[in-house]
Amino acid sequence: MPDKLFIVVSGLPASGKSTLAARLAEALELPLLDKDDILEALFSGAGDVDPAKRSQLSRMSDDVLAKIAAMSQGSVIVSHWRHEDAEGASGTPVAWLKALPGTLVEVYCACPPDIAERRFRLRQRHPAHHDGARAAGLGEQLRRLAERGPLLIGPTVTVRTDKPYDFEALLEQVRSRLAEV
């Protein structure tokens, strides 16, 4: 394997990214960098978080995520990413990922929008995420995001996360992509 390995896990909100990223991090013996963990740590010290404050803290957590990743010796990085050509959209910017000092492989969690929407509505996250308010128009938003597909920022492995998948086969695909780089 390369000296520094970065696995970027992408996909729709509630597509199973964090669950898969944790398994990959453990299997590849890499640290897990989850933007939501950083954001929720910021929530804990921020008092009452209205939607505007949440947005501000989210941008701060994007910056922290990028700095930690750049200083790491490799990691599995997970967030709801913003495609490069989607200016003004929500999500973590991706331009900095290409500048990481190592080999990058994207693992894209493919999940039908209706299943991601159902999962989104059922999940329980920190109240400062304001998921209830963000759920308006969610179905259409997820359909538009799903049409965009993976970020295509490096070699990509796609896994269907709406049903059980063979994790060992996925791990082999990731290792195979690494061998190609």
Instruction: Determine what percent of the chain is predicted with pLDDT higher than 70.
Output: 92
State the DSSP H helix or E strand holding residue 139, giving kind and residue range, or none if neither.
helix 138-148
Chain centroid to CA 140: 20
| Cβ atoms < 10 Å from Cβ of 50 | 10
Answer whether 7's CB lies under 8 Å from 77's CB: yes
pLDDT in tens, 139-177: 899 999 999 999 999 999 999 999 999 999 999 999 999
134: pLDDT strictly greater than 70: no
Q: What is the DSSP letter of 133?
A: H
Mean pLDDT in residue range 86-112: 89
Measured CA to CA, the distance from residue 174 to residue 156 in angstroms comes to 8
Which helix (H) or strand (E) is 53 found in, with range?
Answer: helix 51-71
Q: Say if CB 10 and CB 109 are below 8 A apart.
A: yes
The token duo for 177 is 């992509």
pLDDT digits (tens, 9 = 90+) for 41-68: 999 888 888 888 988 999 999 999 999 9
Domain that includes residue 115, residue range: 5-180
Residue-wise DSSP of 115-136: HHHHHHHH----GGG-HHHHTT
Strands (E), the chain: 5-11, 32-34, 74-78, 103-110, 156-160
pLDDT for position 45: 83
- The average pLDDT across 118-124 equals 86
The enclosing domain of 59 has a CATH number of 3.40.50.300
**Residue 23 confidence (pLDDT) above 60:** yes
**Overall number of domains in the chain:** 1
